[in-house]
Amino acid sequence: MVDVSDTINCQRREAGSKGMARSLRAAGQLPGVLYGPAVEPTPITLNPRAFVHQRRTFGRAHTFKLQLDGEQTFDVFIQSIDTDPVSGAVMHVDLYHIDPNRAVSVDVRIELQGRPVGVSMGGSLVQRMHTIKMHGLPKIIPDVIYVDVSHLNVGDSIHVRDLTFAEGLQSMVQGGESIAAVPEVQKEEVLTPAEAAKAAAAAAPAAGGKAAPAGKAAPAGKAAPAKAAPKAKG
């Protein structure tokens, strides 16, 4: 396996239009911007394939070394990434030059560890939060937050308030937010033979089809003709 460096090599570029950005991507370069409290916004280009490997390896919360034109070096966070909605390819990246003495807010990846005891009882583990926004000095923000879920039984869950962070590091998410859970197992109702027969009878159409029609009434406004009584003989 090839080792991946956390040094991002980039070059200055001229600020341009969207058309120029498309031309850069067509030439195999990734456009971006370097900015921060101690540096003027600087348009840059970098290697897209190397950047994707670095982001996957270290995560967005990692403090990268940015080497500009092989000369200047900056400590940076990946502030934002624009991707193509169809292909998912990285289209543009913003890199934030950090001040080591100034707190920042960063999305940190959550990684679950362990196999919940509830899984052995038929439950399934559901991860409801994959990143968490943390606030603190850059040096104490971790690349990844590991969450032990091995103790979760069926019906249990773990929340943000259950996590313990380093001194000076705080979550920007409500404590009641669920990170992972092992939901209750939904049991299928099993009917007894008698209950099944009763349900089938209720669902079946009435026997004999349609009811026999009642006798027809005389047409409205017409009375039935009366028969004359027979004349007596004699």
pLDDT band at 234 (very low <50, low <70, confident <90, very high): very low
Please answer whether residues 24 and 15 qualify as being in contact, where contact means their C-beta atoms are separated by less than 8 angstroms: no
For 187, how many CA atoms within 13 A lie in the half-sphere containing its CB? Answer: 5
State yes or no: pLDDT of 1 exceeds 60: no
pLDDT per position as a tens digit, 28-76: 999 999 999 888 999 999 999 999 999 999 988 899 999 999 988 999 9
Tell me the C-alpha distance between 47 and 14, whole Å.
Answer: 17
Q: How many helices (H) and strands (E) does the chain have?
A: 3, 13
Per the prediction, the chain carries an average pLDDT of: 85
For position 201, what pLDDT does the model report?
78
pTM of the predicted protein model: 0.69
For position 189, what pLDDT does the model report?
63
Average pLDDT estimate for 159-166: 96
Q: How far is CA 148 from CA 135, 152, 211, in A?
A: 22, 9, 67
Q: Which residue has the higher pLDDT, 192 or 231?
A: 192
For position 75, what pLDDT does the model report?
94
pLDDT band at 20 (very low <50, low <70, confident <90, very high): confident
pLDDT per position as a tens digit, 181-223: 999 876 666 667 776 677 777 776 655 555 445 555 545 444 4
For position 11, what pLDDT does the model report?
94
Rg (CA), the chain: 37
For position 228, what pLDDT does the model report?
46
What's the one-letter identity of residue 111?
A: E
pLDDT band at 232 (very low <50, low <70, confident <90, very high): very low
Q: How far is CA 34 from CA 43, 82, 109, 154, 219, in A?
A: 6, 15, 23, 47, 94
pLDDT per position as a tens digit, 116-127: 999 999 899 999
pLDDT per position as a tens digit, 122-151: 899 999 999 999 999 999 999 999 999 999
